[in-house]
């Protein structure tokens, strides 16, 4: 379970230069639930990497290869490859360890710490099978092997299905720490089991700084429109209603003298929503697609305000003091706005435009916007302090593991 990195020494014994191996142990940490397609998930990945590199610079980070986590991308970010299936682990075990590690491959048995950064993967919407595949099927084995398993701040629940409750109880029993991202998720976990390993802490991407792309013109691009296809897939609204809502928000933003644009936070489906809305506009908007999630966060920081249906788009806005007109398909949006004391930023009825019109009118007023930005920055300071405390707890678990192994 512990990776031994080798130092080499030369020896002239027996008439040739030999290689003697000395060993010292290094933490091998597996990241789960993060990926490169959803820019919120990638932002979480970058936030995790940054904190781990700061605290444990020699730690080895590993992930499984997948459609959303291609090998080239992992290696580009300094992440090694963990064999995913039982078969690949059996085959990998026959390869001499030093050769395999030099090639950048690690066995599941070599992992010490599992950090799960799923944004929202455990609840009735996803079901018991999905929860089991994510963690439930292996977490008891990992616990018995002495691995430390930590679920970083994320949304949970609700858990109404009996089979899902059983899977979640197994996860809670065997995890070292679980962080609910907000109050409602915390209650959902407590309804399964009231254990001390269940904590509450806000989304931790609030601690990582964005970067504004060179040459970005915030006078040309003033109000970001960030769509989310899940508004339709989750049946929070049908496609026509959602597209009409976005069109109305854009028309109203232009009417009050501001310049909107589309900013894509996840892949092809969100991009298609933007194209669909553009097809109804007299003057289609520019659609900005950035590969780097830190640049997306940087662009959001320059906006006068944003209209957003993506959770981490909302976090990136509010945590940087940027007002946000928010649509919702899950309780996580409602609770996030509550944390920033900005309930009026939530538009739940996408058919009645009265709330939207009032909100956009207010946000167009510099004095109103300035006061709101100041309030959001004060709330952000509190949220960042909570995130720092969360990492302290995570590092305490890891350090205790290192002391006692």
Q: pLDDT-based confidence at 259, cuts 50/70/90?
A: very high
Q: How far is CA 5 from CA 20, 78, 375, in A?
A: 13, 17, 49
Report the percent of the chain where pLDDT is more than 70. Answer: 94
> 331 versus 346: which is more confidently predicted?
346
What pLDDT score was predicted for residue 2? 32
The mean pLDDT of 213-221, rounded to a whole number, is 97
What pLDDT score was predicted for residue 313? 97
Q: Is residue 90 part of a domain?
A: yes
What pLDDT score was predicted for residue 16? 30
At 94, list the tokens: 């026959």
pLDDT in tens, 269-294: 999 999 999 999 999 999 999 999 99
Closest by Cα among 356, 360, 326, 329 to 343: 326
Q: Is residue 91 part of a domain?
A: yes
Establish how many alpha carbons lie within 13 A of residue 344's alpha carbon, considering only the half-sphere containing its beta carbon: 12
- CB burial of residue 165 (10 Å; 0-12, 13-18, 19+): middle
| 399 lies in the same domain as 375 | no
pLDDT in tens, 37-92: 999 999 999 999 999 999 999 999 999 999 999 999 999 999 999 998 888 889 98
| 110 lies in the same domain as 245 | no
| 182 lies in the same domain as 229 | no
| 256 lies in the same domain as 182 | no
pLDDT in tens, 94-134: 999 889 989 999 999 999 999 999 989 999 999 999 999 99
* Nearest-angstrom CA–CA distance, 386 and 380: 10
| 229 lies in the same domain as 337 | yes
Establish how many alpha carbons lie within 13 A of residue 356's alpha carbon, considering only the half-sphere containing its beta carbon: 22
What pLDDT score was predicted for residue 86? 86
| 330 lies in the same domain as 397 | no
Residue that has been written with the tokens 């254990």 in this structure: 195
What pLDDT score was predicted for residue 18? 32
Altogether, the residues listed in the chain come to a count of 405
Q: Is residue 370 part of a domain?
A: yes
Cis peptide before 200 (omega within 30 of 0): no
- Residue 243 domain boundaries: 223-381
> 391 versus 97: which is more confidently predicted?
391
Q: Is residue 304 part of a domain?
A: yes
> Which domain CATH number covers 270?
3.40.50.2000
pLDDT in tens, 94-105: 999 889 989 999
| 66 lies in the same domain as 156 | yes
| Strand order across the beta sheet in which 223-226 lies | 287-288, 260-263, 223-226, 305-308, 324-326
pLDDT in tens, 294-317: 999 999 999 999 999 999 999 999
| 164 lies in the same domain as 229 | no
| 143 lies in the same domain as 110 | yes
Q: Is residue 215 part of a domain?
A: no
Q: Is residue 281 part of a domain?
A: yes
* Nearest-angstrom CA–CA distance, 289 and 170: 40
Contact predicate 111/62, CB 8 Å? yes
What pLDDT score was predicted for residue 97? 86
User: Is residue 329 scored above 70 in pLDDT?
Assistant: yes
pTM of the model: 0.90
| 358 lies in the same domain as 241 | yes
Closest by Cα among 190, 111, 114, 129 to 156: 190
pLDDT in tens, 3-15: 233 333 333 333 3
In three state form, how does the secondary structure of the chain look?
Answer: CCEEEEEEEEECHHHCCEEEEEEEEECEEEEECCCCCEHHHHHHHHHHHHHHHHHCCCCEEEECCECCECHHHHHHCCCEEECCCHHHHHHHHCCCHHHHHHCCEECHHHCCEEEECCCEEECCCCHHHHHHHHHHCCHHHHHHCCCEEEEEEEEECCCCCHHHHHHHHHHHHHCCEEEECCHHHHHHHHHHCCCCCEEECCCHHHHCCCCCCCCCCCCCCCEEEECCCHHHHCCCCCHHHHHHHHHHHHHHHHHCCCCEEEECCEHHHHHHHHHHHHCCCCCCCCEECCCCHHHHHHHHHHCCEEEECCHHHHHHHHCCCCCEEECCCCHHHHHHHHHCCCHHHECCCCCCCHHHHHHHHHHCCHHHHHHHHHHHHHHHHHHHHHHHHHHHHHHHHHHHHHHHC
Q: Is residue 17 part of a domain?
A: no
Q: Is residue 119 part of a domain?
A: yes
* Nearest-angstrom CA–CA distance, 379 and 253: 26
User: Is residue 238 scored above 90 in pLDDT?
Assistant: no
Give me the chain's average pLDDT, please: 91
What pLDDT score was predicted for residue 21? 31
What pLDDT score was predicted for residue 25? 67
Number of domains in the chain: 2
Closest by Cα among 119, 153, 114, 130 to 41: 119
| 255 lies in the same domain as 358 | yes
| 350 lies in the same domain as 390 | no
What pLDDT score was predicted for residue 4? 30
pLDDT in tens, 141-187: 999 999 999 999 999 999 999 999 999 999 999 999 999 999 999 99
User: Is residue 236 scored above 80 in pLDDT?
Assistant: no
Residues 6+ apart with CB under 8 A from 50: 208
């Amino acid at each position: 379970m512990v990776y031994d990195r080798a130092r080499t020494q030369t020896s002239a014994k027996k008439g040739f230069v030999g290689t003697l191996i000395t060993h010292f142990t290094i933490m091998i940490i597996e990241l789960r639930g993060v990926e490169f397609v959803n820019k919120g998930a990638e932002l979480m990945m970058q936030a995790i990497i940054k904190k781990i590199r700061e605290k444990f610079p020699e730690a080895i980070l590993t992930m499984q290869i997948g459609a959303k986590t291609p090998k080239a991308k992992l290696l580009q970010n300094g992440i090694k490859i963990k064999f995913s299936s039982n078969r690949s682990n059996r085959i990998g075990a026959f390869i001499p360890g030093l050769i395999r590690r030099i090639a950048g491959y690690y066995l599941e048995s070599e992992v010490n710490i599992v950090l799960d950064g799923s944004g929202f993967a455990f609840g009735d919407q996803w079901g018991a099978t999905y929860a089991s595949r994510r963690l439930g099927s292996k977490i008891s084995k990992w616990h018995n092997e002495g691995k430390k398993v930590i679920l970083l701040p994320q949304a949970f629940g609700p858990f109404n299905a009996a089979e899902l409750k059983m899977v979640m109880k197994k996860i809670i029993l065997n995890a070292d720490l679980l962080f609910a991202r907000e109050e409602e998720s915390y209650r959902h976990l407590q309804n399964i089991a009231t254990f001390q390993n269940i904590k509450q802490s806000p989304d931790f991407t609030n601690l990582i700084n964005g970067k504004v792309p060179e040459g970005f013109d915030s006078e040309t691009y003033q109000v970001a429109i960030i769509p989310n296809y899940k508004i339709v897939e989750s049946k929070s609204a049908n496609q026509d209603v959602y597209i009409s809502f976005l069109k109305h928000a854009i028309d109203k933003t232009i009417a009050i003298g501001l310049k909107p644009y589309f900013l894509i936070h996840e892949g092809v489906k969100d991009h298609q929503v933007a194209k669909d809305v553009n097809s109804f506009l007299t003057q289609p908007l520019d659609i900005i697609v950035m590969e780097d999630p830190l640049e997306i966060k940087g662009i959001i920081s320059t906006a006068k305000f944003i209209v957003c249906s993506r959770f981490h788009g909302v976090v990136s806005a509010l945590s940087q003091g940027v007002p946000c007109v928010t649509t919702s398909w899950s309780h996580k949006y409602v609770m996030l706005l509550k944390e920033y004391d900005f309930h009026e930023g939530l538009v739940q009825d996408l058919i009645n435009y009265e709330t939207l019109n009032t909100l956009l009118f207010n946000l167009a007023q510099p004095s109103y916007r300035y006061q709101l930005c100041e309030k959001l920055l004060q709330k952000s300071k509190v949220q960042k302090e909570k995130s720092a405390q969360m990492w302290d707890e995570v590092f305490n678990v890891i350090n205790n593991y290192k002391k006692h192994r």
